Structure 1
């Protein structure tokens, strides 16, 4: 596969942002600070969930996995983007481009399915609270994450394979910040109808199916919450789901559906290019949202900095 493509194109040029001597240092500083904040916030959340026993829960485990995925898929793109902002040559080898597409898809698909797992966790916690610890035990949590990660590996292999099997015999300039399949498909000098079909099927399996599961789960959660007699109890039950609903909305609607459910590679435009920046924004906002709305996380942080009391 690689030899066929490299016979015509051996490297790609990432156009990235409009080059300007005045704006480049500002862009570099902005994204560097933002990337460092992503690393600090997510790694801090991982550290808290590992060190504090009160966060050794299924949701605490899923939050730490979410933070690891956010760190991974931003690291596959942002460091290279920072280098290219200050570099006149923005070339990426064919092999690195394929690897970047694969890894970015892998972490993104795994995160998409992780949100559905987290919704199931909320369903068990609210609808079956007495059996929560039995159903959502440590091995079940590991198994669910492992299966979804394995599914991501297989899905990314097929998606990337069908994308890179196309001959790229024309221009090698990618109008994007990093190598992403919809942007790379625009360089193909042949019919991409099969790739559009694979694109749609992949998007359906990793976006529509998890989102449908999440909606179905929350419908059941809603009816269960409405059966709670006290208003305070209903508010408390709903508040445990609010953080998850917020991050799912930020991740799925602006980032995934607009990008991967578009009908064909020709629909990729500047709006889609700008929308890709939400990948970076959500990686920063996820730990912030879970930290602000989780009392256990706040208490663990105060304990870590020496302002809280250890549990008796």
Structure 2
């Protein structure tokens, strides 16, 4: 799932390609992905792309007076296509292609027919596309908490979020988009590993621990941004995976202490952690492992 650093890099890449360009058409091939009915997709034809922005994990293409907003969810992605799409591609329900933005290409920067292919792999479809005149019409955006890269996101703001969360597990607090916008499963694992904290630690913590976690959050996200800076969309997935210390690395050696990275499996997701760095050597309860040991 793309999180704040990847979506930020997509904004940079697509902003460079699309800003000032004219849309030829916007084709929706997965009708379940389109969550709005007005304005219609046809309203984008002939309009100029005015800019590309980010709201948490939401990507926002400002086209004329309309916002084309996308949340790529767990298995969605996009790629830039040079030149017109193949005539045989894009049949509804027959491929991973969910939508396609085709550009008129009326100058040397973009060839006619070039554009953006939005795809979603797998059978569980969660990709969401919205066409709205006000981004706050998108429910997920209207509920977003503060952006952790905004200068206004200070240590005091962060401490207030933790304080209001009581004894909720810190992993869930970091992932809750109403608390902090843009952090998902992967980067919450990485932040907690950097902070040397258990994902099950209660969010009520000392001032020293709060400062430690805040610094880890900032360094993790800003480090990921720096690594993704200047990369095209096609390179971001690989860069994200290479930059991970524990997430997605179960069974491998922790790069900090050499202990084996472990995981906890839930019904719809997993988390990864290092016992030595984060839990004092204790293995966290795992439903699958617990069942095997009975």
Say yes or no: TM over 0.5.
no
Structure with the largest fraction of strand? 2
Q: Give the TM-score normalised by the residue count of structure 2.
A: 0.31
Task: Give the structure, 1 or 2, with the largest relative contact order (CA under 8 Å, sep 6 or more).
Answer: 1
Structure with the largest fraction of helix? 1
